[in-house]
């Protein structure tokens, strides 16, 4: 969007007032009215168009700003469609169910909180969705904790930490794809670069959960029932591992995310069809409508019924609206005006990384929306990373470390409201124990200050 240069920049105070007004409107609708973020975004677009017209800008120019902004997200949109297809095809082929079953097989032993963290992390990577992981496996783990009188606060912290580890590191995750796409970084390069902060955060979190775990044996009745439900679906088969192995192979060979997801989706669909999981007509229809499975276990039903392009339309609409708003911010000069004011002080890797992290965290707190945190921060800081000669994958990593994983720690955020509802544990109660979410931004800021693991630009 940085090529959208207005003829004249508004003043810094005027630009700041516009930004605060838009953030207030979005925050009020999301927090106060509990509206979906699409509505305040559209209203904000109307306000920015009115502002542009008041500044005597032509509507075609403003419209071009929206179009140019939305175009930057087309790569993410195509990947989101493929992610929906991949999830439904991997469900039908049994790939995701066998990964879940493997995770459940690892249960046992006295380290309840550490095991809860590990299970949700594995399934989070398999599903690519923190919401689905928390609403299904997370609920089962909370039930197990209740049956043994273990701390619900620590258990919820472990579930949230594991779910967002998966949301951050899975190639199926919409936030992971969004962060890499918005700053034009290859998906798998982005994931590999995140390992510098994510792996230490995972290890430290696992150790802390192990230390806090009670000596008593975990109550696994709830989890066992889910595992038994998976085993009766008929989806577990040796061939279910083929799509996963193929994805690993394509990742190692550094194929593009689009090709990797497409090839493994088609492979999984063919495997499901040959095995007769469902008719070919129903199978191809799952690409749009998603996979639906009905068993006697409601948790398993919710766990397996997902995927499809239709399921991604909510996220896609949000991305396009947010990027259109971002385009208006640039074409009217609002964001360039603010950046011009602060650019003189952001002249080092340390200052840029710290500012990026604080901006992403600030948007999460002010607006409560992780997508906007990634989108707006990513668009605003691309040019600054080029200025200090840092590769863009450093920016995409910081967006996830300080954007994606912070949202569940904000009580009025989309993730915070959802998680506190499904887990029946208030955000401020589990927040001190969501170790992974707390450590990720601290590590990325630490690396920014020390310069460790930062990749210089090749330009």
With a cut of 60, say whether residue 395 has pLDDT above it.
yes
pLDDT at 205: 95
The structural domain count of the chain equals 1
pLDDT at 151: 84
With a cut of 60, say whether residue 169 has pLDDT above it.
yes
Rounded-to-integer distance, Cα 306 and Cα 127, Å: 10
pLDDT tens for 284-328 read 998 998 888 777 677 677 777 877 888 778 777 877 887 788 788
The answer to whether residue 299 sits within a structural domain is no
pLDDT tens for 182-200 read 888 888 888 888 889 999 9
Residues 6+ positions from 13 with CB-CB distance below 8 Å: none
CA dihedral 30, 31, 33, 34 (to 10 degrees): 60
If you average pLDDT over every residue of the chain, what do you get? Answer: 81
Residues 356-372, mean pLDDT to the nearest whole number:
77
The boundaries of the domain holding residue 361 are: 12-69+313-450
The answer to whether residue 238 sits within a structural domain is no
The answer to whether residue 431 sits within a structural domain is yes
pLDDT at 109: 55
The answer to whether residue 57 sits within a structural domain is yes
The answer to whether residue 24 sits within a structural domain is yes
Rounded to the nearest angstrom, the gap between the alpha carbon of residue 60 and the centroid of all alpha carbons in its chain is: 34
pLDDT at 254: 66
The answer to whether residue 242 sits within a structural domain is no
What pTM did the predictor assign?
0.68
The answer to whether residue 395 sits within a structural domain is yes
φ, ψ of residue 235 in degrees (nearest 5): -90, -20
């Amino acid at each position: 969007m940085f090529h959208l240069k207005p003829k004249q920049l508004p003043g810094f105070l005027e630009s700041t007032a516009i930004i605060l007004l838009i953030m207030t409107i979005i925050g009020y609708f999301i927090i106060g009215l509990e509206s979906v973020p699409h509505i305040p975004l559209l209203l904000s677009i109307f306000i920015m168009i009115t502002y542009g017209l008041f500044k005597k800008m032509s509507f075609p120019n403003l419209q071009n700003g929206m179009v140019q902004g939305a175009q930057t997200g087309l790569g993410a949109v195509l990947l989101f469609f493929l992610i929906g297809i991949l999830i439904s095809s991997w469900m039908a082929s049994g790939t995701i169910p066998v990964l879940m079953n493997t995770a459940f097989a690892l249960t046992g032993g006295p380290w309840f909180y550490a095991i809860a963290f590990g299970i949700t992390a594995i399934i989070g990577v398999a599903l690519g969705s923190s919401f689905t992981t928390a609403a299904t496996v997370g609920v089962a783990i909370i039930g197990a904790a209740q049956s043994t009188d273990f701390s619900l606060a620590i258990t919820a912290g472990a579930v949230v930490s594991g779910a967002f580890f998966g949301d951050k590191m899975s190639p199926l995750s919409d936030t992971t794809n969004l962060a890499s796409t918005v700053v034009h970084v290859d998906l798998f390069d982005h994931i590999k670069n995140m390992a510098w902060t994510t792996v230490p955060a995972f290890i430290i979190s696992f150790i802390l959960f192990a230390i806090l775990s009670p000596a008593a044996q975990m109550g696994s009745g709830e989890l066992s029932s889910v595992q038994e439900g998976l085993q009766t679906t008929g989806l577990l088969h040796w061939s279910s591992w083929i799509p996963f192995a193929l994805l690993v192979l394509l990742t190692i060979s550094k194929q593009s995310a689009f090709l990797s997801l497409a090839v493994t989706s088609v492979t999984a669909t063919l495997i499901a069809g040959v095995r007769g999981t469902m008719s070919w007509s129903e199978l191809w229809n799952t690409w749009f409508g998603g996979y639906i499975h009905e068993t006697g276990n409601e948790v398993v039903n919710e766990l397996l019924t997902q995927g499809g392009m239709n399921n991604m339309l909510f996220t896609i609409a949000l991305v396009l609206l947010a990027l259109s708003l971002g385009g208006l911010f640039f074409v009217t000069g609002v964001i360039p005006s603010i950046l011009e004011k602060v650019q003189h002080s952001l002249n080092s890797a340390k200052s840029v990384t710290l500012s990026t992290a604080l901006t992403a965290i600030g948007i999460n707190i002010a607006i409560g929306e992780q997508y906007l945190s990634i989108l707006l921060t990513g668009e605003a800081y691309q040019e600054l990373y080029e200025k200090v000669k840092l590769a863009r994958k450093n920016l995409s990593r910081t967006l996830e470390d300080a954007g994606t994983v912070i949202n569940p720690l904000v009580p009025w955020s989309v993730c915070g409201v959802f998680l506190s509802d499904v887990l029946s544990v208030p955000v401020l109660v589990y927040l001190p124990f969501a170790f992974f979410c707390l450590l990720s931004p601290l590590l990325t800021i630490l690396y920014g200050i020390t310069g460790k693991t930062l990749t210089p630009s090749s330009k």
